[in-house]
Homo-oligomer: A and B are copies of this chain.
């Protein structure tokens, strides 16, 4: 598509920016140098027709899969050609641009699991092959009837001393491995998790490298049944699969043996703590929030906000032309909190990386002290980020009216993809309750006089009093709202703990009491995570002290995020009259005023995310704002407009014939 004039309604929005868009882009990228690299990578990808995604909305599941395999292999060549390494910044940029359109995602998990769970020899054997795609692996943990609860997994691996092999079996239909990506039609190998049996005794879950498809002709290995699990709400690029094992034998060396080993005589040897493995799970969640969840909301905001200054609807002022829909307060109320959330979760994910790095250093030295806090933080923030951002993308889609439902808007694919993030890498309710368990534990520690980790230090407070705000603008003071969030989390967690204690003291069994408090415990974990997000956004603001304009606009967003969160959960803040009726009115008015302020910078604030048109792949969201032209041009390309006339010939013509004499 040739370069076009920018729609004047969009153009004018860019002329009044209160800050330097380029500078904010650099901040989001981490540095001007990072921006340069990202743009250079984008340019390379966009000039290569193999990476063109233009027609993807028209493809079938099978075409998407084929395309993704082709593209992944081409990307690997391209990276070689360009000298981009697998650990370099360019690779991250490639994935940022193409992630929903690549194959071999779980192959990467296969590689990581061997690196994390394998011995030196096992790493030396498998990794060079896997990195070059000479084999493709998958990670087969989840079963048809079993998810997050690992002890429930049914697949067995029984050691046969005679042949020095493990014999793997799927004992029932619910034990079938189900969902692993790259398994359906691609993988030659799988890291299979199975209950290890030695001389009739169970030793729990262990990982085994299993050969599942021939490298020569791709036929299934003996005893293996595998295939694709069929259509899903999103992820058409991935061949999620099933795997059924019947007496499948793998050599003894194929049990990944970094942490435990089976000797030739069938003796089981434990080899040190697996705790470090929790880090892998944590890092997956942290990077998923940053690279998938937040980016997706940023894209949706870019599309919806640009569209909202191009779309005009109804008279605002009688006699005037139809108004830009972003000038309606209701539209601002839909979109601007999502924009603020995108920034909020960006900053909290940066914070998570920082403490993860700190934790990683300590843990490598054998100090596991930070691990529980890190796990609770990463779980809680994974949950709030995925819930918030997936709801936010949905708001963005709905805010675009009918056109938002066209796949060509780009929004439905963002929306359905992100919805799944509430389930994968830990189902959100399960994770919240894990965070809650940590919070309850901390509360108990504080009661017995122990100091608490910094993120939960507020739990040891005795009381919070009432909110001190006296006028609207007091609610633009971060101290005021951070305190309110702290108080809210403190109150909910303490109430849940008290209820739990009361139930147990009344003679109800611990597990039953826990269950009866779990709705409130989950709410407590959510409130805690919400507090962390607000607090880390405020902390991030402090780093921009020398850049007044940037700091001011980010401060507006931070205020908006915090106040919107209070309004959306008002009951939590008012139930014990922490906020008075007058104060809640102040929050509302401050919030509504902020909408008007941020409205002025809305387009520059999404421009700062710096997505190229190819990144967005949206008829509504392109930089030039030529929304209607693009919708029309893209629609004309739809295969539904290039079908033969079979429906008419077969079904309609015989009927229409009867009208000919009458019209």
Contact in complex: B516, A592 (CB < 8 Å): yes
Contacts of A312 in B (CB 8 A): 145, 152
Question: Does A268 interact with chain B (Cβ within 8 Å)?
Answer: no
Contact in complex: A317, B643 (CB < 8 Å): no
Contact in complex: B394, A511 (CB < 8 Å): no
Selecting from A90-98, A453-461, A552-560, A566-574, the interface stretch reads A566-574
Contact in complex: A407, B330 (CB < 8 Å): no
Bound-complex Cα distance A270 to B66 (A): 61
Contact in complex: B407, A129 (CB < 8 Å): no
Enumerate A295-353 residues with CB–CB distance to B below 8 Å: 311-318, 322, 327-331, 333-334
Bound-complex Cα distance A134 to B656 (A): 4
Known: A632-B242, A651-B73. A581 touches B577 (CB 8 A): yes
Bound-complex Cα distance A144 to B330 (A): 22
**Contact residue among B147, B405, B641, B652 (Cβ-Cβ distance under 8 Å from A136):** B652
Contact code string A181-219 (vs B, CB < 8 Å = 1, else 0): 000111010000000000000000000000100011010
Enumerate A211-244 residues with CB–CB distance to B below 8 Å: 211, 215-216, 218, 227-234, 239, 242
CB distance from A107 to the nearest CB of B (A): 12
Contact in complex: B62, A231 (CB < 8 Å): no
CB distance from A406 to the nearest CB of B (A): 6
Bound-complex Cα distance A215 to B653 (A): 7
Known: A329-B515, A575-B574. A645 touches B218 (CB 8 A): yes
Question: Does A19 interact with chain B (Cβ within 8 Å)?
Answer: no
CB distance from A331 to the nearest CB of B (A): 8
Known: A231-B58, A313-B148, A571-B570. A176 touches B632 (CB 8 A): yes
Enumerate A28-70 residues with CB–CB distance to B below 8 Å: 57-58, 60-62, 65-66, 69-70
Question: Does A659 interact with chain B (Cβ within 8 Å)?
Answer: yes
Max chain B CB contacts within 10 Å: which of A318, A401, A407, A512? Answer: A401
Contacts of A228 in B (CB 8 A): 635, 638, 640-641
Contacts of A149 in B (CB 8 A): 313-315, 322
**Contact residue among B239, B330, B398, B576 (Cβ-Cβ distance under 8 Å from A433):** B330
Contact in complex: B314, A152 (CB < 8 Å): yes
Contacts of A448 in B (CB 8 A): none
Max chain B CB contacts within 10 Å: which of A229, A327, A331? Answer: A229
Contacts of A657 in B (CB 8 A): 215
Question: Does A647 interact with chain B (Cβ within 8 Å)?
Answer: yes
Contacts of A648 in B (CB 8 A): 218
Contact in complex: B69, A647 (CB < 8 Å): yes
Question: Does A3 interact with chain B (Cβ within 8 Å)?
Answer: no
Contact in complex: A405, B423 (CB < 8 Å): yes
> Helix, strand, loop or mixed for chain A's interface?
helix
CB distance from A565 to the nearest CB of B (A): 12
Contacts of A314 in B (CB 8 A): 148-149, 152
**Contact residue among B57, B145, B173, B233 (Cβ-Cβ distance under 8 Å from A407):** B233
CB distance from A404 to the nearest CB of B (A): 8
Contact in complex: B511, A174 (CB < 8 Å): no
Question: Does A142 interact with chain B (Cβ within 8 Å)?
Answer: yes
Question: Does A259 interact with chain B (Cβ within 8 Å)?
Answer: no
Question: Does A278 interact with chain B (Cβ within 8 Å)?
Answer: no
CB distance from A476 to the nearest CB of B (A): 19
Contacts of A142 in B (CB 8 A): 402
Enumerate A511-527 residues with CB–CB distance to B below 8 Å: 511-512, 515-520, 522
Contacts of A185 in B (CB 8 A): 640, 643, 647
Question: Does A135 interact with chain B (Cβ within 8 Å)?
Answer: yes
Question: Does A115 interact with chain B (Cβ within 8 Å)?
Answer: no
Contact in complex: B638, A231 (CB < 8 Å): yes
Contact in complex: A330, B429 (CB < 8 Å): yes
Question: Does A631 interact with chain B (Cβ within 8 Å)?
Answer: yes
CB distance from A184 to the nearest CB of B (A): 7
Bound-complex Cα distance A628 to B412 (A): 29
Contact in complex: A230, B316 (CB < 8 Å): no
Contact code string A497-520 (vs B, CB < 8 Å = 1, else 0): 000000000000101100111111
Contact code string A131-148 (vs B, CB < 8 Å = 1, else 0): 011111000001011111
Contact in complex: B423, A402 (CB < 8 Å): yes
Question: Does A600 interact with chain B (Cβ within 8 Å)?
Answer: no
**Contact residue among B69, B520, B641 (Cβ-Cβ distance under 8 Å from A651):** B69
**Contact residue among B134, B230, B588 (Cβ-Cβ distance under 8 Å from A635):** B230
Residue of B nearest to A584 (CB): B575
**Contact residue among B179, B398, B412 (Cβ-Cβ distance under 8 Å from A416):** B412
Known: A133-B655, A233-B407, A573-B571. A145 touches B57 (CB 8 A): no
Contact in complex: B412, A398 (CB < 8 Å): no
Question: Does A608 interact with chain B (Cβ within 8 Å)?
Answer: no
Contacts of A62 in B (CB 8 A): 639-640, 643
Contacts of A176 in B (CB 8 A): 628, 632
Enumerate A616-663 residues with CB–CB distance to B below 8 Å: 628-629, 631-632, 634-641, 643, 645-648, 650-653, 655-660, 662-663
CB distance from A636 to the nearest CB of B (A): 6
Contacts of A311 in B (CB 8 A): 145
Bound-complex Cα distance A299 to B419 (A): 20
Residue of B nearest to A420 (CB): B405
Contact code string A410-439 (vs B, CB < 8 Å = 1, else 0): 001001100110111001110001000000
Which 4 pairs of residues, A with B, have the shortest CB-CB distance?
A570-B571, A230-B638, A134-B659, A228-B640
Listed by A's residue number, 9 A-B pairs whose Cβ atoms lie within 8 Å are A149-B315, A227-B636, A227-B638, A230-B634, A232-B406, A317-B509, A330-B518, A402-B424, A412-B416
- Contacts A173-B628, A185-B647 aside, 20 further interface pairs with beta carbons under 8 A come to A57-B230, A62-B640, A69-B647, A132-B655, A133-B652, A152-B313, A152-B322, A185-B643, A188-B656, A188-B659, A215-B659, A218-B652, A228-B635, A230-B408, A231-B407, A233-B415, A317-B511, A516-B592, A570-B570, A575-B581
